[in-house]
Amino acid sequence: MRHFHSVWGYIAIVANALAGLICLLAWRVQRVRGRWVWVCTIAAQAMLMVEVVIGTILIAGGEYTVTRFHMFYGFVAFITVGLAYQYRTYMRGKMELFYGLVGLFLMGVGIRAVLQVL
């Protein structure tokens, strides 16, 4: 499970980077917009939530010890997804921009979390 957590972390980081770039592209180019943009975004954020849950299970089971900052960045990622979902109604008209920036922020948080373990 620890190996899966390590590999899945990189996959979630790349997925959120791609989802963020896709959203930013959709914000600038209207013909790119569509349901597929949101499917990519939801999938990337769900991947990150799976990563956080697996990390929590590893820590709670006592099988895995990491720095406090690694856990902090996992918590920040978890809260960011929830806050982004909550504030989506305030971003009417700029939803692609908002979720593009959220995706890139989640990528950065994921990179910082990985760097705490290396």
Give the domain range for residue 37.
2-117
Alpha helix segments (H runs only) across 1-118: 2-28, 35-60, 68-86, 95-117
Instruction: Write the CA distances from 82 to 1, 4, 12, 74, 79, integer angstroms.
Output: 25, 24, 16, 13, 5
Could you state, in chain order, the average pLDDT of each consecutive group of 10 residues for the chain (118 residues)?
Answer: 91 97 95 94 96 92 85 94 90 91 97 90
Q: What is the pLDDT of residue 66?
A: 85
Per the structure, the count of domains in the chain is: 1
